[in-house]
Structure 1
Amino acid sequence: MEKLDQSVYSPSPTPEVPRNELWRMFDRIAQRYDLLNRLLSFGQDVVWRKKLARFLPEGECLEVLDLATGTADVIIYLFQKSARVFRAVGIDLAERMLEIGQQKIREHQLDQVVELKVGDATRIPFPDNQFHVVTIAFGIRNVENVPQSLREMYRVLKPGGRALVLEFSLPRSPIVRNAYLFYFRNILPRIGGWISGDHYAYQYLNKTVESFPYGESFAQLMTEAGFSRVGYKSLTFGVATIYYGDKLM
């Protein structure tokens, strides 16, 4: 597979959703975001997020930073799947998503060990060498500057820490890929738009998934950001992928 040759990846702004309106779009669909994730992925999004716990680095009392945390699903599942997670912080630019996430954190009785705050994945508001783990699930496509965000993830990791990125990808099998793209282009936008009331939000999803680098191309971006021992694991016939990379020094 050819490596991405752009120095900066960014989803193309459109007249319907300019760059500075992107996070407002997520706020508009926040109330039904979790429901739509479950329906449109046939429940697989829960399976994929829970699998992130298998890639946690060694060690106890892990401190986690979750970027583009949304409604805090990743944080909740990490606490459920691993007793080694000690504390977590989630940041996102969509305030309504964070409000819903905070409600869920309280419901799971995690409010003493989890903090959610407004923050930008390209300008992470924490000092160097702060966290054992940095995660981002289905959010790296939406940041303004992917290489910068990856460098920021590297910066705030402690030596020996690990970055975990969960993102949509394109299946290698032509049969699976064609079926997947038909669903993404023709079915998902209609159902998502009907339930959420925001038709463009789910057309945007399709466009960014198809244009975003995946597999070796994305792994190369992580390597260029400074990560070592970079690898990735395809999930569900390649529909999604978990990428991982370590900060050795």
Structure 2
Amino acid sequence: MFDDISKRYDNLNQILTFGLHKKWRQRAIDLIDNNPEKILDIATGTADFAIAAKKLNPKSIIGIDISEKMIEIGNKKLKRKNLNNFIRLKIADSQNLPFEDNYFDAITIGFGVRNFEEIEKSISEAYRVLKKDGILLIMEPSTKNNKFLSFLSKFYFEVIVTNIGYLFSKNSSAYNYLSESVKAFIDGETFLKILDEAKFKNCKHLKFSFGIIDLYWAKK
């Protein structure tokens, strides 16, 4: 599915979020306060979160995704920005990360967790490859707010995202899936429990942009 929409993904992301996705990522990155040397971006897509993480001045950044076409576009973007020697992208599955234990200082996952086949397994893998005191940062869209904000966010995902997505990509199923997956994703309290059961500590759940975005912060 993500291969099918890969060519228009970045443009649609800009349109559908009114350009706010960049600010969301930057705000999230600012919460990584352990001066990481090695960063992993899981479900990197076209590498936007990996690029945003550059402001932390790490020694290396690796982005992984299961979509070959997303990785291809991400690599082209990195080359245009002269970042292809600093940020490396590779095809890999979040449930079976090809890295040794205790390797990364920070892990980011932007808009990807709800697409994981086995969330608990992927979160456990993230824990495994993080160093002690390493930070896990997860960002997801949400419709679970108070009644008024829930109405606005559901309208946004069900009407705006689905229709504009179809208009520009001609792939209605992909953007219907996006809307449905956001609505079906577990609530904040349940997700915090998953982080806790994976042995993460100091787990926090933050909201911004009127509750449309959920941010989860945890430490190993």
Task: Give the distance between the partners of 2:97 and 2:24, measured in 1 at CA.
Answer: 25
Task: Give the distance between the partners of 2:79 and 2:68, measured in 1 at CA.
Answer: 17
Deviation string, structure 1 residues 112-162 (Cα, Å, up to 9, x no partner): 221101000111111101100111100001011000000000000011101
Match of 1:48?
24
Task: Give the distance between the partners of 1:68 and 1:192, measured in 2 at CA.
Answer: 20
Please report the TM-score for the alignment, with normalisation by the length of structure 2. Answer: 0.96
How many corresponding residue pairs? Answer: 220
Match of 2:184?
211
Task: Give the distance between the partners of 2:22 and 2:166, measured in 1 at CA.
Answer: 21
Match of 1:70?
45
Question: Is 1:82 the counterpart of 2:56 in the alignment?
Answer: yes
Deviation at residue 102 of structure 1 after TM alignment: 0.4
Task: Give the distance between the partners of 1:122 and 1:167, measured in 2 at CA.
Answer: 18
Task: Give the distance between the partners of 1:176 and 1:227, measured in 2 at CA.
Answer: 30
Question: Is 1:229 the counterpart of 2:202 in the alignment?
Answer: yes
Question: Is 1:190 the counterpart of 2:166 in the alignment?
Answer: no
Task: Give the distance between the partners of 1:192 and 1:138, measured in 2 at CA.
Answer: 16
Q: 1:115 aligns with which of 73, 77, 88?
A: 88
Question: Is 1:28 the counterpart of 2:4 in the alignment?
Answer: yes
For residue 98 of structure 2, give the secondary structure of its aligned residue in structure 1: coil
Deviation at residue 216 of structure 1 after TM alignment: 1.7
Tell me, which stretches of 5 or more residues in structure 1 are unaligned?
A: 1-24
Deviation at residue 171 of structure 1 after TM alignment: 4.6
For residue 82 of structure 2, give the secondary structure of its aligned residue in structure 1: coil
Q: In structure 2, what residue type is equivalent to 1:56?
A: I
Q: In structure 1, what residue type is equivalent to 2:192?
A: A
Match of 2:212?
239
1:170/1:210 contact within 8 Å kept: yes
Q: 2:112 aligns with which of 139, 155, 167?
A: 139
Please report the TM-score for the alignment, with normalisation by the length of structure 1. Answer: 0.85
Task: Give the distance between the partners of 1:31 and 1:245, measured in 2 at CA.
Answer: 33
For residue 55 of structure 1, give the secondary structure of its aligned residue in structure 2: coil
1:52/1:78 contact within 8 Å kept: no
Q: Could you tell me the percent identity over the aligned residues?
A: 38
For residue 39 of structure 1, give the secondary structure of its aligned residue in structure 2: helix
Deviation at residue 62 of structure 1 after TM alignment: 1.8
Deviation string, structure 1 residues 20-57 (Cα, Å, up to 9, x no partner): xxxxx101100110111111111121111111211113
For residue 30 of structure 2, give the secondary structure of its aligned residue in structure 1: helix
Structure ranking higher on relative contact order (CA contacts 8 Å, 6+ apart): 1
Task: Give the distance between the partners of 1:169 and 1:179, measured in 2 at CA.
Answer: 11
Q: In structure 2, what residue type is equivalent to 1:176?
A: L
1:171/1:237 contact within 8 Å kept: no
Q: In structure 2, what residue type is equivalent to 1:65?
A: L
Q: In structure 1, what residue type is equivalent to 2:6?
A: A
Match of 1:176?
149
2:142/2:153 contact within 8 Å kept: no
2:16/2:160 contact within 8 Å kept: no
1:229/1:245 contact within 8 Å kept: yes
1:57/1:161 contact within 8 Å kept: no
